Amino acid sequence: MKNTIRQQDLDAKLSSLALDMETYDVQLAKLVSEYDALDAQLESRDPDSWRSHPRGQRFGSEGNTEGLLSERPKTTTRALSIEEQFRAEVERITIQSREDEADLARRIEFARLRFEKAMERAGIDPDTMAGYRPQAEGESEGSLPLPVLKRWNELHLLRTELVERNLYLVLINVERYAHTRVSRMDLIQEGSAVLFRAADGFDWKRGLLFRTYAVHWLNQAFRSYLYNFGNTVRVPVYLQKAMKHVRDAMERMGDRGQDVKALAEATDLGENVVNSALRASRSTHSIDSSFATSSGDGLSLRDTLTDDEPGGLYSPEMEDVGLADGAEMALSRLSARERHVIGLRFGLDGNSEHTLAQIAEEMGVSLERIRQIQVRAITKMDTPGLRKAVAPFLAEGA
């Protein structure tokens, strides 16, 4: 196609420029200007070009491969889980050699420079691009100039290729965090997303492989996710780090580990921080969780909390505000007329439930007037402090 830059030709030119790193940046800028003057478009590759037939392998914790598809009986009809489908898809992606990775990294740098030049010519601030996404085929141009969209799509496709070719790193490194309570798929999703940030920060000129740089980002992403979402009740990151230091000190100190002052000295933390860490160390358990017993019964926490007394475990005193008290608090905000309408409408104060038409006939006013009174009354009662208590009464009229 006319004015199309073949990736093979571009790789040859960029490789030639890379032989002299002192002049590389200057020569790259000239090459970008040359292609921009021709309005040349970079050739895009079909994603299937870096995919092969299923290899029947999966990645272990140390990067080795183990049979995945071969472990499953060929006659099985069990549907694959989402994780198994993801692993099978990643197994089809061929891993790059050092030379191929360097070529792709130089292509990304070339495309990014063209994209930045296009934004500069269009007078677009890079910070305003955060709310946009690359344009899919067949979509309208939107609010961005077409040259900017073209350059953006070229850059996005190359970044996507680099990320996909290194998704196997996510599967290898996620195994280090498999013992945590966090969903493995959540960690895989977090790791897959952070590879884009790694692709944006990777500098091939330093002589490092992308996988070396990406593993750092992956571990940071996994740890950050565990810090923020690893507990039922979110604990601030600084406090989680303090909890680790306190636990380590308690193990070292033995019996002395119960003294807050001694722990503060051993961890070089303030006593208030140690106290906060000790309070935050309390774990949460599901009421349906099971635990082993000496008799071998699979009892759950719920079974041990069963109350044989009439009425069971619940009592109104367990609530901060009883339902009756909450309803009375809500109704007290109404005028006598509004309270009368709400009482008839929802069957309060011993009344049966009435329709708006029945209330209008009883009070001798129009149905629309009754509806207005009901709406005004519900609005008065619908406050943050009373909403929970009043919700059962508002369900029908809301």
Report whether pLDDT(21) > 70: yes
Give the pLDDT score at 153. Answer: 92
Give the pLDDT score at 350. Answer: 74
Residue type present at position 199? A
Report whether pLDDT(31) > 90: yes
Rounded Cα distance between 92 and 171, Å, is: 14
Give the pLDDT score at 209. Answer: 93
The helix or strand, by DSSP H or E, that contains position 393, with its residue range, turns out to be: helix 387-394
Residue type present at position 224? S
Report whether pLDDT(225) > 90: no
Task: State mean pLDDT over 31-49.
Answer: 91
Check if CATH label 1.10.10.10 holds for domain 321-394: yes
Give the pLDDT score at 28. Answer: 94
- What are the tens digits of pLDDT across the range 87-134? 999 999 999 999 999 999 999 999 999 999 999 998 887 776 665 666
- What are the tens digits of pLDDT across the range 168-182? 999 999 998 888 878
Report whether pLDDT(254) > 60: yes
In degrees, to the nearest 5, what angle opens at C-alpha 334 toward C-alphas 330 and 337? 135
Report whether pLDDT(56) > 80: no
- What are the tens digits of pLDDT across the range 285-316? 666 666 655 555 566 666 666 555 555 545 55
DSSP H stretches of helix in 321-385? 323-331, 336-346, 356-363, 367-381
Highest mean pLDDT among 163-167, 264-268, 333-337, 389-393: 163-167
Give the pLDDT score at 66. Answer: 45
Answer yes or no: are the C-beta atoms of 246 and 269 closer than 8 Å: yes
Report whether pLDDT(210) > 90: yes
Confidence of residue 64 (pLDDT cuts 50, 70, 90): very low
Report whether pLDDT(398) > 50: no
Rounded Cα distance between 134 and 154, Å, is: 9
Beta pairing partners, 300: 290
Confidence of residue 55 (pLDDT cuts 50, 70, 90): very low
How confident is the prediction for the chain on average, in pLDDT?
79
Answer yes or no: are the C-beta atoms of 71 and 155 closer than 8 Å: no
Confidence of residue 2 (pLDDT cuts 50, 70, 90): low
Rounded Cα distance between 57 and 46, Å, is: 23
Give the pLDDT score at 389. Answer: 53
Pairing verdict, β 57-59 and 65-67: antiparallel
Report whether pLDDT(325) > 90: no
The helix or strand, by DSSP H or E, that contains position 148, with its residue range, turns out to be: helix 146-164
Give the pLDDT score at 393. Answer: 47
CB-based contacts of 240, cutoff 8 Å, min separation 6: 227, 280
Confidence of residue 239 (pLDDT cuts 50, 70, 90): confident
Give the pLDDT score at 103. Answer: 95
Give the pLDDT score at 258. Answer: 73
Rounded Cα distance between 7 and 195, Å, is: 23
Give the pLDDT score at 60. Answer: 47
Residue at token pair 């009373």: 386
Report whether pLDDT(318) > 50: no
